[in-house]
């Protein structure tokens, strides 16, 4: 059996994590554990974790780390025999310590942390250029514009810029990222787990670099 790949995905909003996650799932058959999506599903389905989480959310409180980690472990136990790709957690160094301790209790350890990086101006340009159609189709004014400016190709309806995509909102999201998550980069680099990828390059180039890195790591794990 090939060595497991237990991976954490890091990077600022708009660096291309979602695109690379899709490719990683296809290339390495890894379950994608996006904690935000998982939490919403638990709440929607009314699971035991979801009921507890909803009580915190309804009170305006953050969902405790222990509950998030319990949710992650449940998914790893269910579908992560050969590894997993974790996105959205940890966001802070204390969360990283707690995650390590939790997966060590399952006899596991992280294989690598993949940082898909891009500078702030690249991120702002990439996200603020998005325009969305009523049917959900997403355009980009520079890289994937509609035939007629500001109008959906399929239905001819006006495109909109979501509030989350406006430059001032993106800058706030980046400030939060730098304050809370950037310390994780030094933390994982110090442990020899961090691998950097240039998110300003094309998705195909980034995917090829990640694929080569993980293939080497998997080979080293089997030696």
Could you give the residue numbers annotated as active site? 17, 91, 130, 162, 173
Q: And the tokens for 124? A: 């702002």
Token pair recorded at residue 197:
């990828």
Q: State the DSSP H helix or E strand holding residue 196, giving kind and residue range, or none if neither.
A: strand 194-198
d(CA 153, CA 132): 11
Return the CA Rg of the chain.
19
CA separation for the pair 10, 131 (Å, rounded): 25
Beta-carbon count within 10 A of 204 CB:
10
Cβ atoms of 184 and 92 closer than 8 Å: yes
The three-state secondary structure class of 139 is strand
Q: Which pair of tokens denotes residue 76?
A: 């790893």
Residue 152 to residues 14, 92, 135, 149, 165, Cα–Cα distance (Å):
22, 40, 9, 8, 18
Task: Report the C-alpha dihedral over residues 97, 98, 104, 110, rounded to 10 degrees.
Answer: -50
């Amino acid at each position: 059996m090939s060595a497991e790949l237990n991976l954490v995905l890091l990077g600022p909003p708009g660096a291309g994590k979602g695109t690379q996650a899709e490719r990683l799932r296809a290339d390495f058959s890894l379950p994608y554990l996006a904690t935000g999506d998982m939490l919403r599903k638990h709440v929607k389905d009314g699971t035991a974790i979801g009921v507890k989480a909803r009580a915190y959310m309804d009170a305006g409180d953050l969902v405790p780390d222990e509950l998030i980690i319990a949710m992650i472990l449940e998914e790893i136990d269910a579908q992560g025999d050969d590894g997993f790709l974790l996105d959205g957690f940890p966001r802070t160094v204390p969360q990283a310590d707690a995650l390590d301790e939790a997966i060590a209790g399952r006899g596991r350890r992280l294989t690598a942390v993949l940082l898909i990086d891009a500078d702030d101006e690249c991120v702002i340009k990439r996200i603020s250029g998005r325009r969305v159609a009523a049917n959900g189709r997403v355009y980009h004014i520079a890289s994937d514009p509609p035939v007629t400016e500001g109008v959906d190709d399929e239905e001819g309806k006006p495109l909109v810029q979501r509030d989350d995509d406006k430059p001032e909102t993106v800058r706030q999201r980046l400030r939060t990222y730098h304050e809370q998550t950037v310390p994780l980069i030094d933390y994982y680099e110090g442990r020899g787990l961090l691998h950097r990828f240039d998110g300003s390059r094309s998705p195909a180039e980034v995917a090829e670099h990640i694929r080569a890195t993980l293939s080497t790591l998997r080979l080293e794990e089997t030696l």
